[in-house]
Chain A
C-alpha cells in the first residue's frame, strides 16, 4: 500500500510539475523541474491552482492526518511558494487554535457547536466560521474469532456486544445472523478507545441512532458504554484485536487493512449485508442531509439508512474556515488549497488510504462554499 502510494504520488507530482511548468499563467510554475515530467495524470495538475504565498498553518483532527499528509505532498509539489503545515493536535485543540487566530483553518471530527460559531465572530471579521465536510471514511468493526472468517451483525447486536449484554460468541442473537458460521463458545472481548476520539463519537452516534433501545448511552467522544476493555488510539485497539482471541473493536478501515483484520458485514435492513468498504461508505454519506445553513455544510449523517450497499458507520471530518473575514495574508493560499482537496482529484486520491471520497452532490456544494470564501 505504501509503495503504491509513493508511485502514485510521484506520478501526480511529476504530472503536476510538468503541466504547471507549461501553464505560464499559474503563479507557481517551477519549470526548472520539467525534466522529471512525463507520464503523469494531467488532471491532477489542472486542479491544483496555486495562489498565495508563504506559510499556511492548520491544525486539528488526527483522523484526517493521513489525508492531509497526502494532499500537502501533492499540493506542495505543485506550489513551491506555499509551505503547508498541518498539525494533528486533535479536534479540540485545533478549533481552539483557530478561534485564537493562530491557524488559517482547522480540521475537526465534529461540526462546530453554536457557542464556537459565536466565538468565531472575533477572528472572522464580518463573518463566522463554517464547516466544510472534506474527509469521509468507513469505521470498520474488526473481530478476531478463531474459525470465523465472515461475520454479519446488525446494529442491535453490535450495541449489545459493546454494552456487555451479549457476552459469548455463540450467543443466539449472533447465531441467528450467521447460521452458517461455526461460532465458538468464547468470551467476547469488546475493546473501545480509552482516549477521547471522533471515531468513538461517530461509532456511538451510529449505535444510538440505529439501535436506541440497546444503546441507552449518550453518544460522545468519551466512551460511555458498560464494561469492555479499552486501549489507546486506533493503533492500540486494532493491535489488541489482532492479539486477543475473541476480541472485537471499531477503528478506521485503514487499520483493518494494514493489520489484515477481518471486518464485520452490517445487516442494515437492506437486501444484503453491507461490507465495510470506501465505496459503500461514500454511498452512505450521500444519504446524509446538510443541516448547516448558507455556506456552512455540516452534515446530518443517515446512520439508520437502509439503502442497498450503504455502509452507515462512517466518519466525516470537516475543515473549518471563515466564510468572510479570513486573514488577508493567508486567504489566497487557503482557498487554493481547499479548492484542490475538494476537487475530484483531491478526493479520489484518498481512496487508497482507506478514506471515502465525498459523494458528488456534497462535493459540488463544498466547492461552491470554498469558491465563496473571502
Chain B
C-alpha cells in the first residue's frame, strides 16, 4: 500500500519533504511518540506470535514420529503422533493460485470498467455492489458454496473431463464437486471485492495528464489504458492481489464447509480431496488433545512462514518493477 501513496505526492509535484523545525513542539512530540509506539507495538506483537508459534511447534514436532514436511497423514490422536503438512501446503497454495488466476483478471476488468468505461451513474452502484461482497461473512460463502455452487459445478466438471480430461489435472470421476478447484472458485469470489476496490483506487489516481497526453497522440481508449493506466497501476494491482492472496491463504470456514478433505494429493484438481492449513486447524481443533493442538499450531507456523514468503516476494516484484512503471516518474 505504501507504494500507492508515494507516486501521488510525486505526481502531484509536491516538493520533497522538508524537516521542519516544529519538531520541538509538544504536539509533534506526542504524535511522534504515539506513532513510534504503534510501530514498535506491531513489531512486538508479531515477534510474540512468532515466538509462541515456534515454541509450541517445536514441542509438537519433537513428538512427531513421521517427517513433518513430507508425510501424507494427520494422526495426532494416537501415541506416538504421526502428522505432516505436505498435503496442506499443496492444497493451500494450489487453491489460492486458482483463486488468483480467476479473480485478478476479473477484478482488474471490473476496476477498469468502473474507473474508465462506465458512465458515472452506473459506476457508483457497481462499485457499491462489489464492496458489498466484502461484507458477506465467510461462513455464508461456505454455505452457499456447499449447498448451491457444488451441485451446479458437476456439469462444468463433466465438460472439463470430456475435453480436457487428457491433461490429467482436469479429469473428473464424478461425485460431489467438493474439490480444490471448487475451493479456488469460491475463494476467487471472496477475494474479488478487495482486489477490485484497491485496483480501482489506483486506476483513479492515474494522472489525467498522462491519459490526455496519450489521447493527444491519437491513442484509442484501449491504448490509453494499456500505455498509461496499466503501467501506472501495475504495482498497485500487485499489492491488491497480495491482499487478496493473504485472504485466500488464510480462509477457514468457507473452505472447511466446501472441501471434502483427505490426506492425499490427487492428480486431478477436480476430484475431491486435499486440504488447507486453516481448514485443517478448524476441522481438528475442537476435539484435539494437548499434543494435537500443538501439532495444529506447528501447521499454523508453516502457514505464517508461507504468508511471509509470499508477501516478501510481492514486495520484491514491486520494488523491481518500480523504475519501469509510471510510479517512478
Interface residues of A (CB under 8 A from B): 62, 89-93, 96, 187, 189, 191, 194-198, 218, 220-224, 227-232, 236, 239-240, 243-244, 246-247
Residue of A nearest to B287 (CB): A196
Residue of B nearest to A62 (CB): B286
Pick out which of these stretches binds chain A: B172-180, B200-208, B210-218.
B172-180
Residue of B nearest to A243 (CB): B151
A93 and B286 within 8 A (CB): yes
B176 and A90 within 8 A (CB): no
Residue of B nearest to A91 (CB): B287
Chain B residues with CB under 8 A of A220? 75, 77-78
User: In which size bucket is the chain B interface?
Assistant: 20 to 34
CA distance A153 to B174 in the complex (A): 24
Task: Take A229-B272, A239-B146 as given contacts and tell me if A244 and B176 are in contact as well, using a CB distance cutoff of 8 Å.
Answer: yes
B261 and A222 within 8 A (CB): no
Task: Take A220-B75, A229-B178 as given contacts and tell me if A196 and B286 are in contact as well, using a CB distance cutoff of 8 Å.
Answer: yes
Known: A236-B257, A243-B150. 8 other contacts (CB 8 A): A92-B287, A92-B288, A189-B175, A196-B288, A221-B77, A222-B76, A229-B175, A239-B146
CB of B292 within 8 Å of the partner chain: yes
CB of B138 within 8 Å of the partner chain: no
Chain B residues with CB under 8 A of A222? 74-77, 284
Q: How far is the CB of A162 from chain B (nearest CB, A)?
A: 13
Task: Take A90-B287, A195-B287 as given contacts and tell me if A231 and B77 are in contact as well, using a CB distance cutoff of 8 Å.
Answer: no
B178 and A195 within 8 A (CB): no
B176 and A240 within 8 A (CB): yes
Q: How far is the CB of B219 from chain A (nearest CB, A)?
A: 53
Residue of A nearest to B178 (CB): A229
Task: Take A196-B283, A220-B78, A222-B75 as given contacts and tell me if A244 and B175 are in contact as well, using a CB distance cutoff of 8 Å.
Answer: yes
Chain B residues with CB under 8 A of A227? 262
CA distance A247 to B260 in the complex (A): 13
Task: Take A220-B77, A220-B78, A236-B146 as given contacts and tell me if A187 and B286 are in contact as well, using a CB distance cutoff of 8 Å.
Answer: no
* Chain A proximity mask over B7-22: 1 for CB below 8 Å, otherwise 0: 0000000000000000
Among candidates A92, A229, A232, residue contacting B289 with C-beta atoms closer than 8 Å: A92
B283 and A92 within 8 A (CB): no
CA distance A196 to B178 in the complex (A): 19
CB of B303 within 8 Å of the partner chain: no
CA distance A239 to B77 in the complex (A): 27
Chain B residues with CB under 8 A of A91? 287
A232 and B257 within 8 A (CB): yes
**Between-chain CB contacts (< 8 Å), 7 pairs:** A92-B287, A96-B289, A187-B173, A218-B78, A220-B78, A222-B75, A230-B272
Residue of A nearest to B271 (CB): A229
Residue of A nearest to B273 (CB): A229
Chain B residues with CB under 8 A of A230? 260-262, 272
* Chain A proximity mask over B282-296: 1 for CB below 8 Å, otherwise 0: 111111111010000
Chain A residues with CB under 8 A of B284? 195-196, 222
Residue of A nearest to B154 (CB): A244
CB of B147 within 8 Å of the partner chain: yes
Residues of B253-298 whose CB lies within 8 A of A: 256-257, 259-262, 272-273, 282-290, 292
Residue of B nearest to A228 (CB): B262
Chain A residues with CB under 8 A of B74? 222
Q: How far is the CB of A125 from chain B (nearest CB, A)?
A: 23
